[in-house]
């Protein structure tokens, strides 16, 4: 038992000092190096670095070597040839029990490691909506440049013959100023520039599916089309995307033990149902609440309550994302890592390069809440179309010059503080500047 806990300890008890040192020193070096890594490396970077396949394989092999070392140590201590008495059935049964207890943590490590490996492969393959392999390479941001990611919430609910991008949020990380800017776009936005001189007339939330069905019109692939369109609208390059399935997002929230949200406005939608909420509606009062996955998703999706619109819903979506981020960067998710990995693997897909993950994890953990600037693109950046003005139903028309002016303050040069948008700062549109913008620089 002593040698199973610490190789060499059982030999020291048996007064085999030289053998005890030989078994203990390698084990102590590995444990010391591990302890120093845990002590000195920030938790988010440590976890992110550990699941990169190259590092993960090294750690799993090290775990197997450590298991063999422990088994050798406990076997030698048990069968030490200096003792004449040989163990009986009870002794061998005890040995078998000690061996099983010794092996179990390493089996668990192999299980979590395998889960992390499969999750990594699923998340970082870009999914079926990724950029086509024969497309022109996209510009990659430099080390000290803003990194812009388009978060896409996919609604695959019942009654839909194709998935819609229910949520569109641009997240921009400034590695110099260590800040984050977020902009939520209306899903009912029409007449969005595609960045190549064309304009997509239907609703923005249908572009992804449309591009998938018409590959000849979008040689770069569906997500490339959506990234280019959003980038042209905001005047910034959108480097990467991350798609999130709404049902899977609820599982991610459950995996971290739920999220805490300060509800500022009471909500009540008697017709809301789905994604874990039974028929009968959903409501919440003002105040602090702890939401599980289903209720967090309901809070982010509900829009038929009095005084609520798509724009207020987008604000709540940002709140849920930040609440989930807060739970993860605090390290609480470490205790539910297997379930979180499983949920992420089945929910998220991105074209973000895996090697950027550790640095981004550290940056996410270092950014305080006061350096997260959020904007919802709403009136007067957009305005509703008049009845009969278009054939796509209730839609929002963009004011291009206002949107670009807002984006210039929200996504400034690295190191420059982002500016929260104020409707009073938006200039009146003019015929000279109300045309769809061209492709963003870069």
Q: Which residue has the higher pLDDT, 101 or 337?
A: 101
Neighbouring residues of 261: CB distance < 8 A, sequence distance ≥ 6 = 288, 289, 291, 296, 299, 319, 320, 323
pLDDT at position 126: 63
**Which of 89-93, 323-327, 377-381 has the largest mean confidence?**
377-381
Q: For residues 8 and 23, is the Cβ–Cβ distance under 8 A?
A: yes
Structure-token match 């070096």, residue found: 29
Whether the pLDDT of residue 279 is over 90: the answer is no
Identify the residue with better confidence: 94 or 121: 94
Provide the pLDDT for residue 387: 66
Query: What pTM does this model have?
Result: 0.78
**Whether pLDDT at 72 is above 90:** yes
Residue range 81-107: mean pLDDT, rounded? 86
- Asked if the model's pLDDT at residue 291 lies above 90, the reply is yes
- Indicate the range of 114-118, 222-226, 429-433 predicted with least confidence: 429-433
Alpha-carbon distances, residue 299 vs 27, 79, 257, 276, 317 (angstroms)? 50, 62, 16, 12, 8
The answer, yes or no, to whether residue 433 has pLDDT greater than 50, is no
Q: What is the pLDDT of residue 25?
A: 93
Q: Average pLDDT in the 219-227 region?
A: 90
Q: Percentage of residues in the chain with pLDDT exceeding 70?
A: 87
- Rounded distance, CA 137 to CA 255, Å? 36
Q: What is the pLDDT of residues 380-429, one digit of tens each?
A: 899 888 766 667 778 899 999 999 999 999 999 999 999 888 776 655 44
Q: What is the predicted pLDDT for the residue at 117?
A: 84
Question: Residue 24: is its pLDDT beyond 70?
Answer: yes
Question: Using the 8-state DSSP alphabet, how is residue 425 labeled?
Answer: G
Position 338 scores a pLDDT of: 74
Answer with the residue of higher pLDDT: 225 or 420: 225
Model pLDDT, residue 9: 93
Q: What is the model's pLDDT at position 431? A: 42
Q: Which residue has the higher pLDDT, 345 or 330?
A: 345
The residue ranking higher by pLDDT, 23 or 360, is: 23
The model's confidence at residue 440, banded by pLDDT at 50, 70 and 90, is: low
Q: pLDDT at residue 371 above 50? A: yes
Q: Is the confidence at residue 129, as pLDDT, over 50?
A: yes
What pLDDT sits at residue 157? 55
Query: Residue 430's pLDDT band (boundaries 50, 70, 90)?
Result: very low
The pLDDT tens digits of the residues spanning 144-199 come to 899 999 999 887 655 444 556 778 999 999 999 999 999 999 988 999 999 888 99
Q: How far apart are CA 373 and CA 76, in angstroms?
A: 61
DSSP secondary structure string, 324-390? Answer: HHHHHHTTGGGGGHHHHHHHHHHHEEE-S-GGGHHHHHHHHHH--GGGEEEEE--TTTEEEPPTTS-
Instruction: Give the C-alpha separation, 39 to 35, whole Å.
Output: 6
Question: What is the residue-averaged pLDDT of the chain?
Answer: 84
Tokens 């449309």 belong to which residue? 210
pLDDT tens digit string along 293-323? 999 999 988 878 887 788 888 899 999 988 8
Pairwise CA distance, residues 61 & 74, whole Å: 20
pLDDT band, residue 287 (cuts 50/70/90): very high
């Amino acid at each position: 038992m002593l040698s199973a806990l610490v190789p060499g300890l059982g030999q020291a008890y048996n007064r085999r000092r030289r053998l005890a040192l030989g078994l203990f020193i390698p084990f102590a070096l590995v444990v010391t190096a591990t302890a120093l890594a845990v002590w000195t490396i920030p938790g988010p970077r440590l976890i992110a670095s550990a699941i990169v396949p190259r590092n993960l394989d090294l750690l799993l092999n090290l775990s197997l070597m450590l298991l063999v070392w422990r088994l050798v140590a406990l076997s030698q201590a048990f069968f030490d040839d200096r003792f004449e008495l040989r163990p009986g059935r009870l002794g061998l049964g005890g040995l078998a029990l000690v061996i099983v207890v010794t092996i179990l943590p390493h089996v668990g490590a192999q299980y979590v490691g395998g889960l992390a490996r499969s999750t990594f492969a699923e998340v970082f393959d870009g999914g079926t909506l990724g950029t086509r392999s024969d497309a022109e390479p996209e510009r990659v941001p430099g080390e000290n440049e803003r990194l812009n990611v388009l978060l896409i919430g996919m609604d695959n609910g019942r009654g839909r013959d194709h998935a819609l991008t229910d949520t569109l949020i641009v997240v921009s990380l400034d590695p110099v100023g260590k800040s984050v800017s977020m902009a939520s776009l209306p899903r009912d936005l029409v007449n969005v520039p595609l960045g190549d001189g064309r304009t997509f007339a239907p609703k923005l939330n249908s572009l992804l599916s449309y591009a998938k069905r018409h590959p000849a019109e979008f040689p770069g692939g569906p997500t490339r089309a959506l990234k280019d369109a959003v980038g042209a609208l905001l005047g910034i390059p959108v480097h990467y995307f991350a798609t999130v399935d709404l049902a899977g997002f609820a599982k991610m929230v459950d995996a971290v033990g739920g999220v805490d949200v300060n509800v500022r406005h009471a909500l009540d939608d008697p017709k809301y149902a789905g994604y874990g909420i039974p028929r009968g509606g959903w409501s919440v009062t003002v105040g602090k609440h702890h939401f599980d996955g289903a209720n967090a998703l309901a809070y982010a999706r509900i829009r038929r309550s009095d005084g609520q619109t798509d724009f207020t819903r987008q604000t709540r979506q940002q709140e849920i994302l930040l609440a989930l981020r807060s739970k993860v960067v605090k390290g609480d998710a470490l205790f539910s890592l297997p379930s979180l990995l499983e949920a992420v693997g089945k929910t998220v897909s991105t074209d973000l390069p895996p090697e950027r993950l550790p640095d981004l994890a550290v940056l996410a953990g270092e950014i305080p809440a006061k350096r997260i600037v959020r904007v919802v693109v709403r009136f007067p950046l957009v305005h509703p179309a008049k009845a009969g003005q278009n054939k796509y139903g209730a839609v929002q028309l963009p004011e291009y010059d206002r949107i670009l002016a807002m984006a210039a303050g929200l996504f400034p040069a690295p190191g420059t503080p982002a500016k929260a948008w104020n409707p009073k700062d938006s200039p009146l549109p003019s015929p000279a500047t109300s045309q769809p913008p061209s492709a963003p620089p870069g």
